[in-house]
Structure 1
Amino acid sequence: MYFELVANVSQRKIIHIDMDAFYASVEQRDNPKYRGKPLVVGGSPNQRGVVAAASYEARKYGIHSAMPSKLALAKCPNLIFVKPRFEVYRAISAQIHDIFRLYTDIFEPIALDEAYLDVTSNKQGLPYASTVAKRIRTEIFQQTKLTASADVSINKFLAKIASGTNKPNGMTVILPEDAEKFVESLPIEKFHGIGKVTATKMHDLGIRTGTDLKERSLEFLVQEFGKVGKYYYKIARARDDRAVEPNRIRKSIGAENSFAEDLSDKESILLELKQVARILQERLDKNQASGRTLTLKVKFSDYQQITRSRTFGDNINSLDKIIAEAIALFEAIELENRSIRLLGISLSNLNPGELQQVLQLSLFE
């Protein structure tokens, strides 16, 4: 065995809070003429940029975050574009964090609109995590007039995987005795941490549900997927021993895209690279961040992965600079007629003065 599963994690009580279409909902709250209409935050009607957030009315047209403005507008010609007001979103996020602190100091922000809370021992002495979640959702609405969805279970993976089951303005509870059956019944695409490309490979291996994944040995999963195979082995058994980690400081900001079909022609590759750069630049703007080290990540069709980096004398965050440097790094790679299934760009060595403003997320959101 490569590791030992942590015992007795079923004693933990973890809540995942996710604000409903946060940025878009704030804009609809503050401007009555936007209510009930398809709206996106970010991008622009002149078809430049990418969508940062979409209202539920816009999502009915298939519009989602990180979608190019041009495509979003094609899906909904009457789409409303609103400039982001990140100072407002941050203020509301801080207000919500104050509500969390009424119940626990152990909460881990994932973004301005999302967080994990460990309420195993909560300040109010409430016996059930579901009660805590209900009260938090009520207080958020009373103070902000915004709705939040909450998901409750015994670990972070289960709390996250339940997210979206009852959105918007809903709650899902996965009890310890139901955890494994819940995971077994899920399509593999619903697993948090398994993207489209990995799901396709799993389908090729005959893995389509949580039950199929659970039937594979640890050795098989590590052989097929490398180190992440250990993670797949654990989550197939509803196990996740990661702690809720408050106040982590982010060290990098990035974006990446996996492709349903591998890319081989240079023109398509560069177009996708520019799109990833646009998403990264939007995230830098959102966090008011810049960095000195740019890293390009390339994963080939055979799952071999390489990275190339360059460190600059000054901090960068402009789109033109990111695109130019990412292309320069890409041009130095010997492709040898290999096709590409994933491209990613990140900035690290963030400005020290900005680090306190930026919450820890995964390297590539």
Structure 2
Amino acid sequence: MFAERERSKSISDQMKPSGRHIIHIDVADFPIAVERVLEPKLRQRPVVVAVETTTRSLVFSASEEARQQGIFRGMPLYMAKKQCADLRVLPPNEDLYRRATQAMMEVLEKFTPVYEPLRFGHAYLDMTGSTRLFGDVKDAAASIQREMRARLSLGSSAGVAANKLVSKVASDFVSGLGDRFGLYDVRRGDEEYFLAPLSVRYLPGVRNKVYDELRDLNVRIIHDLAEIHVEHLQMVFGRFGQVLHQRALGIDPRPVQPVRQAPEMVEVEQLDDDSNDYFYLLA
């Protein structure tokens, strides 16, 4: 067991990137946050973004107040309305969200030319080459948060770490503490210790079937997952077992990569009734 653990740590050390400083910025419930900037009366109210043109519409985004009423993203809209009588439903406004995303990116590029926008309201920044200009990365993250609030009236959480995985978990972690505009810094070398007591749900890819299988193995926290030999994880999860093992140890060699195409919302039209009639679907 000890030899296996030492071999695993040796491999981990070889894969860990050195010298990187990554920030993950997260504007929670971005579509609703943007809508509230334009219409302050929406604040402190249960709000969702959804298409109301069909009875089978799903909730695209839900405010914290709506989630407190049991509403969640992907929930059928008719169920959400039954769950919350005073629910405010907003139609998706992709053009608005795209313009707000562009404004957010303009703030971020003042701090580093190397940033990677994800879905609306999320982005990674590689501050490795910018520390001489902005000093400590944690201070830079705090400056970004202040700038976004001052220029865009958007609050955000931030995670600072040596890689993308841990910075994302850090921002999720501080948001989970109830501080949706907080900042958490994971020092280099502390990745495994930071992750150890957290639920495995914090790790990307641990959802639904994977989570159920881990629960069947009595694996609840990331420490338990990190202690399982990688060969055993591969027996259960195939190639993804290797990825799980690396993530549990806080390993993520992926670089921050600017994307060519900005995030966008895709509107899906749902039929009132199921059909496999080709000409009906084509129409």
Q: Which residue of 2 aligns with 1:292?
A: none
Separation of aligned partners in 2, 1:79 and 1:128:
43
Which letter maps to 1:162? Answer: A
Q: Which residue of 2 aligns with 1:268?
A: none
- Conserved? CA contact 1:45–1:73, under 8 Å: no
Counterpart residue number, 2:281: none
AA of the residue aligned to 2:240? V
**How far apart are 1:44 and its partner, in Å?**
3.0
Structure 2 residue ranges without an equivalent (≥5): 1-6, 279-283
Give secondary structure in 2 for the equivalent of 1:177.
Answer: coil
User: Counterpart in 2 of 1:207?
Assistant: 219
Normalised to the residue count of structure 2, the TM-score between the two structures is 0.84
Does 2:89 align with 1:77?
no
1:153 aligns with 2:161: yes
Residues in 1 aligned to 2:270 and 2:211: alpha-carbon distance in whole angstroms: 31
**1:284 matched to which residue of 2?**
266
Shift of 1:238: 1.1
Q: Which residue of 2 aligns with 1:164?
A: 172
Amino acid at match of 1:103: F
* 1:210-247 superposed Cα distances (whole Å, 9 cap, x missing partner): 12111111211111101111111111211111111112
| Whole-angstrom distance in 2 between the partners of 1:186 and 1:56 | 22
Structure holding more helix per residue: 2
**Which residue number corresponds to residue 28 of structure 1?**
36
The Cα of 1:7 is off from its aligned counterpart by 4.3
2: CA distance, partners of 1:31 / 1:218? 51
> Contact between 2:16 and 2:251, CA under 8 Å: does it hold in 1?
no
How many Å apart are 1:127 and its aligned residue? 2.8
**SS of match in other structure, 1:284:** coil
1:86 is displaced (CA, Å) by: 1.4
RMSD: 2.8
Stretches (4+) displaced over 6 A: none
How much has 1:318 moved relative to structure 2?
A: 4.6
Deviation of residue 142 (structure 1)?
0.9
- CA separation of 1:18 and 1:187: change in aligned 2, threshold 3 A: same
Asked if structure 2 preserves the Cα contact closer than 8 Å seen for 1:109 and 1:115, the reply is: yes
Give aligned-pair identity as a percent. 29
Measure the CA separation in 1 of the matches of 2:30 and 2:132.
27
1:117-196 equivalences in 2 (<5 Å): 117-122=125-130, 125-167=133-175, 168-196=180-208
**Mapped pair 1:9 → 2:9:** no
Q: Is the 8 A contact 2:195 2:248 kept in 1?
A: yes
Q: Measured at CA, do residues 173 and 125 of structure 1 come closer, stay the same or move farther in structure 2, by a change above 3 Å? A: same
Shift of 1:124: 6.0
Q: Residue in 2 aligned with 1:244?
A: 256
- Deviation track 1:46-71 (CA, whole Å, cap 9, x = no partner) reads 75411111122112112222211012
Structure 2 residue matching 1:186: 3-state secondary structure: coil
Q: Distance in 1 between matches of 2:110 and 2:24?
A: 16
Q: CA deviation at 1:144?
A: 0.9
Work out whether residues 31 and 97 of structure 2, in 8 Å CA contact, stay in contact via their aligned partners in 1: yes
Q: 164-173 or 152-161, which moves further after superposition?
A: 164-173
Letter in 2 for 1:97: M
Does the aligned pair in 2 maintain the 1:158–1:179 contact within 8 Å? Answer: yes
Cα offset for 1:137?
0.9
- The 1:152–1:165 alpha-carbon spacing in structure 2 relative to 1, beyond 3 Å, is same
Q: Which amino acid aligns with 2:232?
A: F
CA distance in 2, matches of 1:249, 1:144: 22
The structure richer in strand per residue is 1
Match of 1:348 in 2: none
Aligned to 1:90: 98
Amino acid at match of 2:115: F
Determine which of 104, 107, 111 is the counterpart of 2:119. 111
RCO comparison, higher one (Cα < 8 Å, 6+): 2
